[in-house]
Amino acid sequence: MATTHAAVLGSPIAHSLSPVLHRAAYAALGLTDWSYDAHDVDEASLPAFVAGLDASWAGLSLTMPLKRAIIPLLDEVSATARAVEAVNTVLFRADGSRAGTNTDVPGLVNALAERAVTRTTSAAVLGAGATAASALSALSGITKGDVEVYIRNRARDTEVHAIAEAVGTTVRIRDWSAAPEAFATELVIATTPIGATDDLAAAVPAGPGTLFDVLYHPWPTPLAAAWSARGGTVLGGLDLLVHQAVLQVELMTGLSPAPLAAMRAAGEAALAGR
């Protein structure tokens, strides 16, 4: 029986939980002829890697630093992915064409909805990278009014405003030194690298709203731990990873619904073993 291939690409990639999640989905769906691996691919080697794939490939998951680099190699890019300038999913069509989309945005929305966060009157984003762009897109359908964006490099102000305009969100950019003020909003999405928010943990007030910290290892982050200790609702990076992977599995296999519970259990087990 011929094997259908899929994989996650990025550099570095050894830490990725995507193989664990996708393989758990294949097992639950009875897709014994599907494989999912991880390949260390950087921006320079991406074109050759993609060009070398044959008709047995169904799709690719992309992580940093490839979400923008893949766009010129695609025949079709979804409106959402174009707006946030980030493709995290590539689908290979029967006619040989390559289509790119972004499951981080609906993944964020679905993860929040699972915790009954479907509307909020105020929101803040910590960070200004690719995940922050996805967060701004997700918030366009969730929050009313301006989204506060706290960034460390003010040279990115123009870029953040451009992405916000593209996704239909209005923003107020704030300096990182004022980041503790974000905790007064109903929803805070932290998209910064490991360690960037550690110093903010002491500033979490009593009875905070909802924190979505997109990191998943090590977990909990100091910020997430402080938030939970003060009675707030906390979502972590595994919530995002699982929900975006569910959508990837459905798009790549054509089967729906993907086994959310089995994928989450596999992810939790993998993290527990690290």
Measured distance CA(269)–CA(262) in Å, rounded: 11
Alpha helices by DSSP H, 140-236: 157-167, 222-229
Q: Is 67 a known active-site residue?
A: yes
Alpha-helical segments (H) within the chain: 18-29, 46-51, 79-84, 104-114, 130-139, 157-167, 222-229, 237-253, 260-272
**Helix, strand counts (H, E) of the chain:** 9, 12
Which of 5, 67, 243, 264 is labelled catalytic?
67
DSSP state of 205: P
Q: 228 near 209, Cβ under 8 Å? A: no
What is the DSSP pairing of strand 57-62 with strand 89-92? Answer: antiparallel
Torsion (CA) 198, 130, 248, 48 in degrees, nearest 10: -120
C-alpha separations of 20 from 5, 10, 111, 132, 266 in Å:
15, 16, 19, 25, 6
Give the residue numbers annotated as catalytic, written as ranges: 67
